[in-house]
Chains A and B, each alone.
Chain A
């Protein structure tokens, strides 16, 4: 028997099923562009960029210029259903805490939370108290440090220090040797891990394939301002060469 929902029976601030979440909107939420699949009520969706120019509160909450184009402010009264590619959607409550999450997997958060850009590329940090929604391929797996994670399968981490890179020495020498013999490519996925130590929780998902992150380009572009004009020219030539190879 298929469950049918109407205005009154639709869950409020709860999952509709494993893959969709119904936000009870009374005020404002930040919602990732493209995550909204349906809504009812009197709701306006406006780009964060447009909001930030007229509301200082929003600008202070949403503190990440490279992601600003990918987010909207949902304002009004009603219910907003969000989903992401059939991935599992989960809500989490943060209480005076901080949590770092892969930017692509963050679907929405209450304006009580503050969004900052993590020092780890592709990740954002939420600070404060409030609810947020995250998507993951398969249910989230919680792990405690010490733990080493495939960077792509990593969903995020809470309350523990930012990870460091770990390169497997044996793997490095094996693949270097193999490269000399021309037998293996460099693409293994396992030579580099994120190494977590200390107290906290690591969130993992069941896949190491990612959705394209449009903000990554903007991030790299902004960081190449560290290069000198000459270095930037060399980088440009290398990128052109790489693009022509494919």
Chain B
């Protein structure tokens, strides 16, 4: 099942009993057919998943869309990009960028703090904290962004991304904070460009054409 792009800000999902969809609560714009919406707790995975998500701050109010019909999804006029996962690599992104995804995809909260203080600073800068959401399996994910999402291939080393413009990434990518961090930046008097995410490895990184957070 895939999401059909209606325009840059809206996707249409064809829901059937075999292909339910998980979506951000409140993102439904309209629907036809026999469709129901059921709130689900956090990132799936039952009670454990919910507790984990609540602890990490990565809990996103989600709802399951079930039944038969077609549903329009959009959220606050943000741009929507559909990322197709073939099952070989998982998508890492912030929870609040998830608009909708096939219910058969697994979502989990990933701890990204292993990198020590650097990863911690990175988390603080991107607003992600030390946790991020990992979506794995084969299926489609609709991502939210401000100003539209652009895919940049990462091949080997050396793609630097503004933390505010970072949307997510797919593939075997290491993310590190580039180390131009001085006391000046720490107290907020720098140029604003001192923090950069260094992406290396193989895969695709998604960025948005804006530095605005939502």
Contact = CB atoms under 8 A, between A and B. Distances in A.
Interface stretch (B7-15, B88-96, B115-123, B131-139): B7-15
B28 A189 contact: yes
B25 interface: yes
B37 A190 contact: yes
B39 interface: yes
A4 B27 CA distance: 39
A206 B26 contact: no
A143 B72 CA distance: 11
Contacts of A183: 41
Given A171-B38, A183-B41, A184-B39, A149 B63 contact: no
B30 A148 contact: yes
Interface stretch (A24-32, A53-61, A107-115, A134-142): A134-142
A178 B30 contact: no
B201 interface: no
Nearest to A170: B36
B168 interface: no
A171 B36 contact: yes
A207 interface: yes
B9 A138 contact: yes
Contact of A190 (B8, B26, B72): B26
A3 B41 CA distance: 51
B28 A206 contact: no
B6 interface: yes
Interface in A213-239: none
Interface string B27-58: 11111100011110100000000000000000
A246 interface: no
B76 interface: yes
B38 A188 contact: no
- Looking at chain B's contact residues, is the secondary structure mostly helix, strand, loop, or mixed? strand
A172 B77 CA distance: 26
B9 A206 contact: yes
A108 to B, nearest CB: 22
A209 interface: yes
B8 A138 contact: yes
A206 B10 contact: yes
Nearest to A177: B39
Given A153-B74, A208-B76, A190 B28 contact: yes
Contacts of A178: 39
Given A138-B9, A141-B72, A183-B41, A206 B30 contact: no
Contacts of A153: 29-30, 72, 74
Interface string A18-50: 000000000000000000000000000000000
A137 B10 CA distance: 10
B73 to A, nearest CB: 10
A108 B32 CA distance: 31
A150 to B, nearest CB: 5
B39 A175 contact: yes
A150 B63 CA distance: 15
B153 interface: no
B61 interface: yes
B39 A143 contact: no
Given A150-B29, A208-B26, 17 more contacts: A137-B9, A137-B77, A138-B77, A141-B6, A141-B10, A149-B29, A150-B30, A154-B30, A170-B36, A171-B37, A178-B39, A188-B26, A190-B25, A202-B30, A206-B9, A208-B75, A209-B77
18 contacts: A138-B7, A138-B9, A138-B77, A143-B30, A148-B30, A154-B30, A184-B39, A184-B61, A188-B63, A189-B26, A190-B25, A204-B10, A206-B74, A207-B74, A207-B77, A208-B27, A208-B76, A209-B77
Interface of B: 6-10, 25-32, 36-39, 41, 61, 63, 72, 74-77
Interface of A: 137-139, 141, 143, 146-150, 153-154, 168, 170-171, 174-175, 178, 183-184, 187-190, 193, 202, 204, 206-209
The 6 A-B residue pairs with the shortest CB-CB distance in the complex, in nearest-first order: A189-B26, A207-B77, A206-B9, A138-B9, A149-B30, A137-B77
